[in-house]
Amino acid sequence: MLRHLLIAWVFASSLPLRAQRPEPADLVITRAHVVTMNAAKDVIEDGAVVIRGERIVAVGPAAVAARYTARKTIDARGALVLPGMINTHTHAPMTVFRGLGDDVPDRLRRFIFPLEKNLMNREFVHWGGLHGVVEMIEGGVTTFVNSYYFEEEFAAVVKQAGMRAVLGQTVINFPAPDAAEPYGGLALAEKFARAWRGDPLITPAISPHAPYTVDVAHLKKIAALSAELDVPVLMHLAEMTEEMTLLRKDHNMTPVEFLDSVGLLNRRLVAAHCIFVTDSDIALLKARDAGVAHNMVANIKSAKGVAPALRMFDDGLRVGLGTDGPMSGNTLDLIGQLGYVAKVHKLDRKDRNVMPAIKVVEMATLGGARAIHREADLGSLEPGKLADVIIVDHESTAMVPLFDVYSALVYAASPRDVRTTIIHGRVVMEDRKLLTLDTAAVRARMRDITRRINAALAAGLK
Ligand SMILES: [Zn+2]
């Protein structure tokens, strides 16, 4: 019904304009198989997407393109055009450590924290972060949510790359790579948030690491600062059995109840994982309007469990998908996650009907936008929204034949099928060539960093 209304509106509004002069536009994508992810889930087989400045001005059948004269036209024959994907939880600069500490117990304390203590620095964040950004742009991610150190350094390079991001400065109860004193990250977070608030691409945030690594007094300070500056809080939540045990022992609460008690459970929170949440936790997360990042691949690789993301999504919570850091899930694109999200939830429920492909694509796009409270601007291809658009080939071998676009994307697509990535109206990758970054230079720096990390590992970590 809505689909018919939309088509009718497009034709009705195009008729009287036909005699008028074409309107200016910056970019028109034509001959596209458009997967809008709008409320009616319209798919337009021969469609057009028109962009002016940083916003989408029209989406409709191919004829819509004739109403505009564009500075640039992209012929998207043989490809799907869809909203850019939103990675709601990662630690992108950790690409420098990718592949270290896999398949071993207690990875966090035996590998991640010592590696960071000994080796992580501003330079590694800069180049490792850029490498992660390249991977995400190449994989069709247009917005990501990141928690790490030296976040103001990272913000500058993310902006230069033309990516959209929510960047959280980490606050933790021990000396960190960017802060000699425990909780030194809090002052850095405040400075970062004040400096970057209002930026069109970068949303600064505060990232207390987890309920078991930040004390009550600092969590309350962070809640107050987040409210004062109206910046998001990014945090791991209900991820580990030890976390559950500790909070039960110290506070007689679940992690979700605990966050509520310190004033952090609200619309500014993006909670990563939420594996161990009770029915009442889910109701509380919904009542407080918090966002949830579901990191399926990282969670099954760590054998922690399957978060009730399907239940949360169906209950109307703000659930998006995330990759977690490259030491956890190894890759940063979302296309590689989609099939796992669909299939593991089916296995978990012993029901092949649940978590259909269309729902997984919604989680990767509009769901991610909801998780960061940006659904008015992001997550679907609709006039008025920001122009974060990806063009994905459907002519690779595994994508042929194409009967159901959602099935193809979830069960057969590869991140390497992404042809072109547009963020904030700017083409940042075209025909797989990055236009905002020198990828060869980034790769060369990564090789050098890998050599230095190997030398440090051979000498032994403290
Ligand atoms: Zn994480």
Q: Tens of pLDDT along 344-380?
A: 999 999 999 999 999 999 999 999 999 999 999 999 9
| Spacing, Cα 293 to ligand 1 middle (Å) | 10
Does CATH number 1.10.275.10 belong to domain 2-83+380-434? no
| Spacing, Cα 337 to ligand 1 middle (Å) | 15
Whether pLDDT at 4 is above 50:
no
Q: In this structure, what token pair is assigned to residue 205?
A: 């945030």
Rounded Cα distance between 79 and 35, Å, is 10
* Section 144-172 average pLDDT: 98
Rounded Cα distance between 115 and 456, Å, is 10
Helix axes of 185-196 and 216-229: crossing angle, nearest 10 degrees: 10
Q: Return the number of other C-beta atoms located less than 10 Å from residue 393's C-beta.
A: 18
| Spacing, Cα 272 to ligand 1 middle (Å) | 7
| Spacing, Cα 361 to ligand 1 middle (Å) | 22
- Residues forming CATH 3.20.20.140 domain(s) in the chain: 85-371
Whether pLDDT at 304 is above 70:
yes
pLDDT per position as a tens digit, 108-118: 888 888 899 99
H or E segment and range at residue 407: helix 405-407
pLDDT band at 2 (very low <50, low <70, confident <90, very high): very low
| Spacing, Cα 325 to ligand 1 middle (Å) | 6
**Distances 34 to 53, 325, 381, 391, 446 between C-alpha atoms, Å:** 20, 31, 9, 9, 36
Tell me, what's the pLDDT at 106?
Answer: 84
Can you give the pTM of this predicted structure? 0.95
Kind of pairing, strands 426-430 and 291-294? Answer: unpaired
Rounded Cα distance between 117 and 70, Å, is 51
Residue of higher predicted confidence among 76 and 105:
76
Q: Per residue in 21-49, is it b (16+ CB within 10 Å) or e — as a string?
A: eeeebbbbbbbbbbbbbbeeebbbeebbb
pLDDT per position as a tens digit, 139-148: 999 999 999 9
Locus of tokens 């992660």: 132
| Spacing, Cα 56 to ligand 1 middle (Å) | 32
Find, among 50, 379, 92, 114, the residue nearest to 207 by Cα.
92
| Spacing, Cα 147 to ligand 1 middle (Å) | 7
Instruction: With beta carbons less than 8 A apart as the criterion, state whether 398 and 414 touch.
Output: yes
Rounded Cα distance between 341 and 318, Å, is 16
**85-371 belongs to which CATH class?**
alpha beta
| Spacing, Cα 367 to ligand 1 middle (Å) | 18
Question: What is residue 51's DSSP assignment?
Answer: E
| Spacing, Cα 72 to ligand 1 middle (Å) | 39
| Spacing, Cα 22 to ligand 1 middle (Å) | 48
Rounded Cα distance between 324 and 407, Å, is 24
Give, as residue ranges, everything with CB less than 5 Å from ion ligand 1: 324
Rounded Cα distance between 61 and 34, Å, is 9
- Residues forming CATH 2.30.40.10 domain(s) in the chain: 2-83+380-434
Tell me, what's the pLDDT at 19?
Answer: 55
* Residues in a beta bridge with 236: 272
* Residues in a beta bridge with 75: 30
Contacts of 77 (CB under 8 A, 6+ apart): 31
Q: Return the number of other C-beta atoms located less than 10 Å from residue 184's C-beta.
A: 16
| Spacing, Cα 173 to ligand 1 middle (Å) | 16
SS3 354: coil
Tell me, what's the pLDDT at 105?
Answer: 86
| Spacing, Cα 237 to ligand 1 middle (Å) | 10
| Spacing, Cα 168 to ligand 1 middle (Å) | 12
Where are the strands (E) in 76-201, listed by range?
A: 79-83, 85-90, 141-148, 164-171
Find, among 148, 102, 23, 158, the residue nearest to 330 by Cα.
102
| Spacing, Cα 364 to ligand 1 middle (Å) | 17
Rounded Cα distance between 397 and 359, Å, is 24
